[in-house]
């Protein structure tokens, strides 16, 4: 296995080539020019990290990515997990969670969105190895985000006599097959006007999603805080699949003016999830699916609090 993450994090800013010391990491990286050495070359030579399956060097995108990954692809990780002895695979899965706690200071069990957008084993594999993912998280100091892993279809039970409130600022409202009315909401875009309903839906188109989680994170975080004061729970329904959003810089309909990377945006999303316990993200395969899911969320009880919605959706249970 690679060097412990803690050892990598505590590296001094000392050049391994000539021993010169620096006050900051940036100074060290600038100094590498003196040796005509790229960062990738430097770290791979003096802090070698290799794909556990193939033995190839971990691809160097940046220092954080280099030291936080054990594989060059999720396919490699899956193949290694399938071939490794159960004990070794189990130790690795626990190690990944502990590294996440140390590196990102997470306090809740990772969600499906967090695990799919970072190089972490899938939840079902933890279930296979340990029986219960959330119990395992508890044993290593994480607060379980949900009470259970979804294992049956989440059904809706339509109730008549209510209205779904659509925020007046919503410019392209979903065509929900239910009674609606326009009204200003303090947060989110949709809410079923029912006294005991605490579920709100924030709809995001692709470009709006990118913008919000690039420069609008603080504003959105404040919105979630206002929702928390009202004991409200916000589900962010995105009108695009998670696979597409993880490679949006290759989508033809995304303007080249957008300079941020999917990695940057998704890291901000993961930070929001860990900062607020009253939010979930649900990536739908298009606007029609986003409409269906928004309607279903309002008529499926408290499932939005009980289960990981993205996981349920991925398992075709939502």
Domain limits of the chain? Answer: 5-139, 164-314
Average pLDDT over residues 85-108: 95
Q: What is the tens place of the pLDDT at every residue in 18-33?
A: 999 999 999 999 999 9
Q: What is the tens place of the pLDDT at every residue in 239-282?
A: 999 999 999 988 877 766 778 899 999 999 999 999 999 999 99
Work out whether the CA dihedral 295, 299, 302, 307 comes out positive or negative: negative
Q: How far apart are CA 193 and CA 190, in angstroms?
A: 9
* Percentage of the residues of the chain whose pLDDT score is greater than 70: 96
Q: Is the pTM of this model over 0.75?
A: yes
- Mean model confidence pLDDT for the chain: 93
**Predicted pLDDT of residue 9:** 47
Query: Which conformational region is residue 12 in: left (phi greater than 0), alpha (psi within -120 to 50 degrees), or beta?
Result: beta
Residue 141's pLDDT band (cuts 50, 70, 90): very high
Name the more confident of 227 and 260: 227
Work out whether the CA dihedral 151, 121, 246, 146 comes out positive or negative: positive
- Contact status, residue 295 vs residue 318, Cβ threshold 8 Å: no
Residue 2's pLDDT band (cuts 50, 70, 90): low
What does each C-alpha distance from 224 to 65, 271, 304 come to in angstroms?
29, 13, 15
Is the pLDDT assigned to residue 7 strictly greater than 60?
A: no
What does each C-alpha distance from 158 to 146, 155, 192 come to in angstroms?
24, 10, 12
- Contact status, residue 66 vs residue 43, Cβ threshold 8 Å: yes
Relative orientation angle of helices 123-130 and 86-104, to the nearest 10 degrees? 130
Is the pLDDT assigned to residue 37 strictly greater than 80?
A: yes
Q: What is the tens place of the pLDDT at every residue in 193-217?
A: 999 999 999 999 999 999 999 999 9
Average pLDDT over residues 118-127: 94
**Predicted pLDDT of residue 4:** 52
Closest CA to 298 of 172, 166, 186, 164: 164
CATH topology assigned to domain 164-314: Rossmann fold (3.40.50)
């Amino acid at each position: 296995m690679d060097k412990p993450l803690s050892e990598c994090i505590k590296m001094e800013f000392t050049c391994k080539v000539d021993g010169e010391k620096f006050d900051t990491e940036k100074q060290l990286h600038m100094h590498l020019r003196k040796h005509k050495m790229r960062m990738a070359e430097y770290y791979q030579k003096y802090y070698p990290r290799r794909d556990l399956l193939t033995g190839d060097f971990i691809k160097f995108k940046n220092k954080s990515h280099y030291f936080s990954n054990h594989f060059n692809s999720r396919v490699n990780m899956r193949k290694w997990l399938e071939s490794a002895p159960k004990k070794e695979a189990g130790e690795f899965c626990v190690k990944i969670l502990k590294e996440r706690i140390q590196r990102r200071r997470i306090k809740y069990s990772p969600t499906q969105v967090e695990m799919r957008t970072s190089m972490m084993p899938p939840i079902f594999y933890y279930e296979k190895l340990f029986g219960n993912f959330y119990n395992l998280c508890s044993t290593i100091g994480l607060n379980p985000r949900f009470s259970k892993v979804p294992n049956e279809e989440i059904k809706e039970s339509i109730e008549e006599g209510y209205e779904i409130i659509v925020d007046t600022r919503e410019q392209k409202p979903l065509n929900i097959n239910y009674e609606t009315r326009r009204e200003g909401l303090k947060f989110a875009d949709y809410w079923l006007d029912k006294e005991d309903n605490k579920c709100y839906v924030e709809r995001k188109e692709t470009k709006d999603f990118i913008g919000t989680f690039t420069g609008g994170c603080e504003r959105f975080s404040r919105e979630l805080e206002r929702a928390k004061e009202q004991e409200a729970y916000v589900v962010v329904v995105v009108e695009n699949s998670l696979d597409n959003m993880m490679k949006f810089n290759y989508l033809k309909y995304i303007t080249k003016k957008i300079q941020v990377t999917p990695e940057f945006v998704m890291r901000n999303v993961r930070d929001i999830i860990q900062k607020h316990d009253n939010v979930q993200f649900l990536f739908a395969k298009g606007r029609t699916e986003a409409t269906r899911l928004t309607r279903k969320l309002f008529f499926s009880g408290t499932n939005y609090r009980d289960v990981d919605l993205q996981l349920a959706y991925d398992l075709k249970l939502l």
